[in-house]
A = this chain, B = another copy of it.
């Protein structure tokens, strides 16, 4: 076993997260305040969505992301790449990364966006890991910024009760010790493509198409169908990751799941075989922040010193698609 565990000493990509930043909008919307808007009780929101309060941003996703980037960069060198990994863009063209750069005042560095809805951050982190490994980039920002409250459908209380706004960013650099990306996986199952949607905004139901209804431009989720499909597949994924890395669940210092819903986060310790203390749970106070949920939970955990150098952390979640992604990281 010891011999096997030492395989952890060779990450697929050696990097260190040297900066963490976040932006939590100051405006809090409580379950009490939301209740009349969605024609439900406070108790219904808290028991069904598991969200007591969420933040509502009054600035747009580019400004939110730029604030998170600035905190992550701190007094370090200007990054040589920005990857925006958000669920919903500022606008169709150009991609949001350019507007984040503009906000900060950077010019001439490359930036682009990666989109895998709520899993965008994990996917982008793996891309960044590959860039670090090949040496193509050395100071990479991965940033997620989402303003899901803009797209709430108040006539669909199940999803409207979940969404909140936030941005979070990390700064990664090559590492010469044992830190980095130990393992990564992603799988997409399009049979669940319609379980979470914003149907408008693109060529399908174009905003100018007379057939496009207001609800097409808003979030819709089929929570029970997602939960059922996700539960099985995530369980299989976690066990595969644990087995192929020859670790046990107790070796993971902190599991940072996508904050899909109260029930979705609880499932990791109720059915997933982890201890409650191992699972980062911020959904009660921030809601489901789409792609920003995972990095936000990671940055908040770092600020609370819930992990430290040498620890194993495990990011995992499901997103629209339906997709599943995971990343095992040695800090």
**Shortest Cβ gap from A55 to chain B (Å):** 14
Which residues from chain B contact A200 at a C-beta distance below 8 Å?
Answer: 91-92, 201, 207
Q: Does A95 contact B (CB under 8 A)?
A: yes
* Copies of this chain held together in the complex: 2
Is there an interface contact between B187 and A109, defined as CB atoms closer than 8 Å? yes
Is there an interface contact between A151 and B101, defined as CB atoms closer than 8 Å? no
| Given A88-B202, A201-B207, 8 additional A-B pairs, CB 8 A | A89-B203, A95-B321, A99-B190, A112-B323, A113-B114, A114-B114, A115-B115, A208-B217
- In the complex, 13 of the A-B residue pairs with CB atoms within 8 angstroms, ordered by the A residue number, are A61-B202, A91-B199, A93-B117, A94-B197, A94-B319, A98-B190, A107-B191, A108-B188, A109-B188, A111-B188, A112-B323, A133-B133, A134-B134
Minimum CB distance partner of A57 in chain B: B203
Which residues from chain B contact A13 at a C-beta distance below 8 Å?
Answer: 134
Which residues from chain B contact A96 at a C-beta distance below 8 Å?
Answer: 202
Which residues from chain B contact A127 at a C-beta distance below 8 Å?
Answer: 127, 130
Which residues from chain B contact A196 at a C-beta distance below 8 Å?
Answer: 93-94
Interface residues on A, range: 35 or more
8 Å CB contacts to B: which residues of A202-258?
Answer: 202-208, 212, 214, 217-219
